[in-house]
């Protein structure tokens, strides 16, 4: 659900967009840290916020890191 948000922010189309790993942090909603494969050997890390009911904010891309590899740790950023 955040693929288009990322593509707009980096001005690039991704034909591969496969979540490999994720972690969560509970705040006023849930923050998801997601490692996504976007090419054969290229990955991005996403920070996505999903709000609490009753607002149920749609997944929002809060931050991202490009140029990652499969072996890079998925840490808080």
**Residue 74 falls within a domain, yes or no?**
no
pLDDT value for 74: 96
**Residue 59 falls within a domain, yes or no?**
yes
Lowest mean pLDDT among 7-21, 31-45, 54-68: 54-68
**Residue 73 falls within a domain, yes or no?**
no
**Residue 24 falls within a domain, yes or no?**
yes
**Residue 3 falls within a domain, yes or no?**
yes
**Residue 63 falls within a domain, yes or no?**
yes
Q: Are strands 43-50 and 29-37 parallel, antiparallel or unpaired?
A: antiparallel
- Give the count of domains, the chain: 1
| Mean pLDDT (whole number) for 55-68 | 89
Q: Which domain holds residue 7?
A: 1-68
Residue 53 has pLDDT above 80, yes or no: no
Q: Determine contact, residues 34/25, Cβ cutoff 8 Å.
A: no
SS3 48: strand
Residue 1 has pLDDT above 70, yes or no: yes
pLDDT value for 28: 81
Residue 63 has pLDDT above 90, yes or no: yes
| pTM for the full predicted model | 0.90
């Amino acid at each position: 659900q955040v693929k288009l948000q990322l593509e707009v922010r980096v001005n690039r189309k991704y034909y591969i967009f496969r979540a490999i790993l994720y972690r969560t942090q509970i705040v006023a909603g849930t923050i998801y840290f997601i490692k996504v494969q976007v090419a054969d050997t290229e990955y991005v890390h996403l920070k996505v916020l999903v709000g609490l009911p009753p607002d149920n904010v749609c997944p929002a891309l809060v931050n991202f890191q490009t140029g990652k590899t499969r072996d890079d740790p998925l840490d808080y950023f």
